[in-house]
Amino acid sequence: MSKSGSWFGNLIRSIRAEPVEGIRIQKGLDAAITDPKHVDALLPHDPEEEKRWNRQYKENLGGVHIWVDARFEANVCPREKIENFEILGHLGRGAFGHVYAVKYRVDHRLYALKVLSKAHVFQRSFVPWAISEKKMLNAVENKFIVKLHFAFKDRKNLYMVMDLASRGDLNRLRETSLPEMTVKLIIAQIILGTEYLHACKIVHRDLKPDNIFIFEDCFIKIGDLGLAKRLKGRTYSLAGTIGYMAPEVIGTAGYGIEVDWWSIGIILYKLVYLKHPFPKQGGTPKQRLAAITGTKLAFPEVIYPGSSVNDLLRGMLTLSPRFRLGYLKGGSDDIKDHEWFRNISFCEVARKAVRVELDLTPLMPVPSEVYEFLPTEKDDDILPHRFLEF
């Protein structure tokens, strides 16, 4: 197994992306400057250029939902066959399926393969969500959202071939005290990805460390749109992960995109303080709601002296969505323009001109001699009429 893992790690390193010019924020350093000319790269060094970029950025976001809606309805995604992928090993599992590292036999590129059992999806009444996730991932296109490359099915399973996050997800940082600038750049990328989804009229509803992925170049991407929903007004369904659900999701008044800003606030709090802001009192939604509404948001010892991060957290973790940052008149700009981000140029982050360097080793897939999910000639086609749109 070690031999196979070593080979996989070497293969990942052999396809390492070209270095990105600019600042690299390294673990243990607040700012590691790789080139003197980029000393101020994190700052909006040219206000006029930043304004021009913001105008163009907002114009692009303003019409993106039309393009995404058309792609969603067209539902045209490249297809493949499982035989054209070499399975390198198991990476992890989610609520409805398993993820494997695979190599595409056509061009030898590495991907993540998400496998959903048709039987399991049907038994859990997840068919509409599985189809919706495939159509949404295929429709969106953003450098901070995991890309779907192929989607196909056979008699037994549904398959989605996506970007391979060789450094895992944000859970790998849950016990790591990070420099403040590193946290800023991580959150800035999550904000840009979320902002794009909202412009597409999509609410993610399950933003959490498990669904924020870290890639070989240490850039961040949002993934897993299994619970995401295209909004046509307010929605009322109970969806998400209890520890990251906004209070209004558990309530009865309905909700919209504001719930994602709450979830990002929880992620930020955990990155800074390495614990959840609200104590766990039981595992049901009502018990969680009681814990949130009955607990005053508090902050442990000072982690970053002189930082305004606590003020930002208060704004994002406001119980009433009417007063929550990200959902006020200024929208997401209220978060991006907050004092805590004063030395961050979202223009530079969006261009990937700055990045963090995290001391994370590549994930090693667990190989197996037999992959039981693969279909055999004895398998019947499970409910083919239910999965026509996949």
- Quick one: pLDDT at residue 280? 74
pLDDT along the chain (390 residues), means of 10: 41 35 36 32 67 90 95 96 96 87 97 94 92 97 98 95 96 91 97 98 97 95 96 91 90 92 98 90 75 86 92 96 94 96 93 88 88 81 88
CATH architecture for segment(s) 75-164+363-387: 2-Layer Sandwich (3.30)
Shared fold status for 75-164+363-387 and 171-357: no
Domains of the chain, residue spans: 75-164+363-387, 171-357
3-state secondary structure 72-92: HHHCCCCCCCHHHEEEEEEEE
**For position 23, what pLDDT does the model report?**
36
Counting Cα atoms < 13 Å in the Cβ hemisphere of 251 gives 15
Q: List the catalytic residues.
A: 206
Strands 24-26 and 355-357: parallel
* 383 alpha-carbon distance from chain centroid: 31
pLDDT reported for residue 27: 34
The pLDDT value recorded for residue 16 is: 34
- Model-level pTM? 0.87
CA triplet 29, 353, 9: central angle to 5 degrees?
70
Q: What is the distance between the alpha carbons of residues 366 and 91, in angstroms, rounded to a whole number? A: 7
Residue 114 annotated as part of some ligand binding site: yes
- The pLDDT, as a whole number, for residue 282 is 67
User: Which residues does 92 contact at the CB level (< 8 Å), separation at least 6?
Assistant: 98, 99
Confidence (pLDDT) at 384: 85
Q: Which fold has domain 171-357?
A: Transferase(Phosphotransferase); domain 1 (1.10.510)
Q: What is the pLDDT of residue 365?
A: 94
Q: What is the pLDDT of residue 1?
A: 40
